[in-house]
Amino acid sequence: MQALHPSTPSRPLDDLVKLDHRSFNELHARYKASVGDQRAQTAIANELIREIAQHSAGEEMTFYAAVQEHESTQLADHLRGAHQGVKEMLYTLESRQVGSAEYDLLLDQVMTELNTHALEEENQVLPTLRAQIGEDNMIKLGQQFLGAKRMAPTHPHPSAPDKPVTEAIAGAMTTPLDKLRDIPREFAERRVPEE
Ligand SMILES: [Fe+2]
Ligand SMILES: [Fe+2]
């Protein structure tokens, strides 16, 4: 299966998810390397929070929906639960001062939680799903994942629903507000490719 541009083959879901996980860690490393430059750190943190919010919503609507269908509701709920913990921490983080000791500690905790969760996805959940549904379906899910990320809210909404249909509706309601909040914000560039 090919993307709209014929020379660009579509990437499967597992590749796309891993690229996002790498980008989170690249941004966190860049944040740490920018100590003392509050403007740079703010732009990097804005980008990191946006990427995590969109990645999480994209996974819930496509990846976890497939896990629920092909594996179990219990596993899908376990994965959604990990996102919920991260969303709540990010929500708190957004009310703290970038570069403060409290902010940096909380950000470290977010990254620890996120990396534990990402390893579970990469080493267990994605390989199992791939074995169940095959390459072609992983590519289709990858396309759906990218589409869902683009429609997703750009800030964490811990109280928003995290199931496919309802999340799409909640996302449609919160996305315009998030885009307004984003106007005065600066975002660092993403260096790890998205697809
Ligand atoms: Fe996840
Ligand atoms: Fe993930």
Q: Which range (30-34, 98-102, 135-139, 175-179) has the least confidence?
A: 175-179
37 C-alpha to center of ligand 1: Å? 30
Q: How far is the CA of 117 from the centre of ligand 1 (A)?
A: 6
Over the stretch 78-96, which tens digit does the pLDDT of each residue have?
A: 999 999 999 999 999 988 9
Backbone angles phi, psi at 137, to 5 degrees: -70, -30
Cα of 5 to ligand 1 centre, how many Å? Answer: 28
Residue 82 lies in a domain: yes
Q: For residue 158, what pLDDT is reported?
A: 80
Residue type, 155: H
Q: Is residue 178 part of a domain?
A: yes
Compute, in angstroms, the gap from residue 22 CA to the centroid of ligand 2. 10
Residue 6 inside a domain? The answer is: no
On whether residue 28 sits in a domain, the answer given is no
Task: Note down the domain range covering 128.
Answer: 38-152+173-195
Q: Indicate whether 90 belongs to any domain.
A: yes
Structurally, the chain folds into a number of domains equal to 1
31 within a domain of the structure (yes/no) = no
Between the CA of 59 and the centroid of ligand 1 the distance, in Å, is: 6
Q: What pLDDT, in 10s, does the model give residues 30-87?
A: 999 999 999 999 999 999 999 999 999 999 999 999 999 999 999 999 999 999 999 9
Q: Which ligand is nearest to the CA of 78?
A: 1
Residue 132 lies inside a defined structural domain of this protein: yes
